Amino acid sequence: MALHVNDPFTGKNCIAICTSTDGVIWTGPLIVLRPTPGAWDHDGRETPSLHAPTPQLPVWSLMSCGYPTVPEWSWTREGRYSSIGMHFSAGLFGPYTEVGAGPVIGPTHGWTLPYRGQAGKLAGGVQEPTHLVLGGVIVALFATNSYRPEPAIGQATSFLPWLGTSFTVAPQPVLAESGPGWASQPDLWRGANGLFHVVYAIGSPNEEVWHAQSADLLSWPASMRERVVQRAPGYATRAFGACAVELPGTPLTRLWWTGVDDPAGKVPWSVWTALAS
């Protein structure tokens, strides 16, 4: 499992990896990727997505979002002006080498463009990537808080021979919630039923975890969405940052999510897990 942790020596978020044989007891975290001083991710790395080697992409691929230190800094909404980078490694624990000299998905056009937020400062961007390697194609989902401006989930694709180095972003979000909720923090996988699945967070400031299914990664019908982790005051006023794995040979899926019983975020966050059928 890849996650971001705060480096106590620098105060900046880094990417770390934990390992487990049963999904309950974990070893780690071991930091494998830190921000690069003076680069586009100078101020932190967050929300990673890790994929094992495949015949078409025989390396570990790690996507994450990075934050620069820029004059137009803002903590509006979920965070700052962010972009998404890609790293490759021959081994799970690195070293990870950045693809190219900058982001592979950025808030550069259309609905992903940043917006003017608090005090007129630039905010938003693209963040929270998740990706699948499907033969000679990488399909990535990501969140942005540049649309409406409530966050929505978009899609980007990368093809051979530029696999992982160049992405094309869909012209509109593929998963967006209406009303007081928003869609963010996706985790994507292909299920044993042949459909694509995603768990994601809805709501602000007190999120819940939802699950959706799709046949084509572009349409996520409302009839195929369901809430899987509900807010519960006194237990978890926020549930977000989920990921899931189907257990081979069983009808079960193990779900992990971040829970915190404090809307203000002033208490430590914890990772929870459950089995679902």
What backbone phi and psi angles, to 5 degrees, belong to 16? -130, 160
- The bridge status of strand 270-276 relative to strand 115-116 is unpaired
- The bridge status of strand 196-202 relative to strand 115-116 is unpaired
Residue 225: which region, alpha, beta or left (left: phi > 0; alpha: psi -120 to 50)? beta
Q: What is the mean pLDDT of residues 91-98?
A: 96
Mean residue pLDDT of the chain comes to 85
DSSP single-letter state for residue 247:
P
* pLDDT class of 78 with cuts at 50, 70, 90: very low
Q: Where are the domains of the chain?
A: 1-129
Name the residue with higher pLDDT: 131 or 75. Answer: 131
pLDDT tens for each residue of 179-228: 556 888 999 999 999 999 999 998 766 788 999 999 999 999 999 999 99
- pLDDT above 70 covers a percentage of the chain that reads 83
> Would the CA dihedral through 34, 38, 44, 47 be positive or negative?
negative
pLDDT tens for each residue of 127-162: 899 999 999 999 999 998 665 556 789 999 999 888
Q: What is the mean pLDDT of residues 93-117?
A: 83
Closest CA to 59 of 95, 84, 31, 26: 95
Whether pLDDT at 65 is above 50: yes
Residue 251: which region, alpha, beta or left (left: phi > 0; alpha: psi -120 to 50)? alpha
Cis amide linkage into residue 48, ω under 30° from 0? no
Whether pLDDT at 102 is above 90: no
The architecture (CATH level 2) of 1-129 comes to 5 Propeller (2.115)
pLDDT at 76: 36
pLDDT at 119: 62
- Dist CA 83 CA 87 (whole Å): 14
Asked whether 154 and 167 are in contact (CB, 8 A), the reply is no
- pTM, to two decimals: 0.89
Tell me the helices (H) and strands (E) count for the chain, helix number first: 0, 20
Closest CA to 156 of 225, 84, 88, 87: 84
What the block records as the tokens of 178 is 């209406």
- Dist CA 33 CA 41 (whole Å): 11
